Copies of this chain bind each other. A is one copy, B any other.
Amino acid sequence: MEQGASGSNETVIDSEQDWRDERTRDIVDKIETLRQSIDNVDMAIVALLAERFKYTSSVGVLKARAGFAPADYKREEEQMRRLRRLAIDAGLDPEIAEEYREFVVTEAKKRHKRIAETGEDPGVLDIFA
């Protein structure tokens, strides 16, 4: 089998396959190693996201208890500035750090909506934690 199962639009890369030459075999091995690193990164990020949503939920509960508004734009601005700076330090496009923040905020909103739709108490929406 050459270049995977599905022709030119897709190449299924699988170390069990019988690749056409030594050089291709070598590239496939390197890709497999990198994919394992990508999977490890994803595992760590999923674990961190789980913690992040627990923290933001707790902040939401505390804000409600104190009668605080959900929004805190000063905090939001500081977070954004910090994330951009951290991204630059880490060699990441700062636009991606901004989009990451958009992503967690959007997910917090969706999550809240999903919980409300199942009839459960969605708790306090705290997208600005």
Is A43 positioned at the interface, with any CB of B under 8 Å from its CB? yes
- B contact residues around A110 at 8 Å (CB): 95, 99
A39-B82 in contact given A3-B68, A10-B73 (Cβ < 8 Å):
yes
Query: What secondary structure prevails in chain A residues at the interface with B?
Result: helix
Contact-residue bracket for chain A: 35 or more
A38-B11 in contact given A86-B43, A93-B111 (Cβ < 8 Å):
no
Write out, one digit per residue, whether chain A residues 7-51 have a CB within 8 A of any chain B CB (1) or not (0).
Answer: 011111110000000011001101100110111011111111111
A66-B8 in contact given A49-B96, A90-B47, A96-B111 (Cβ < 8 Å):
no
A44 touches B38 (CB 8 A): no
Q: Return A54 CB to nearest CB of chain B, in Å.
A: 7
Residues of A whose CB lies within 8 Å of any CB of B are 3-4, 6, 8-14, 23-24, 27-28, 30-31, 34-35, 37-39, 41-56, 58-59, 62-63, 65-69, 71-75, 79, 82-83, 86-87, 90-93, 95-97, 99-101, 103, 106-107, 110-111, 114, 129
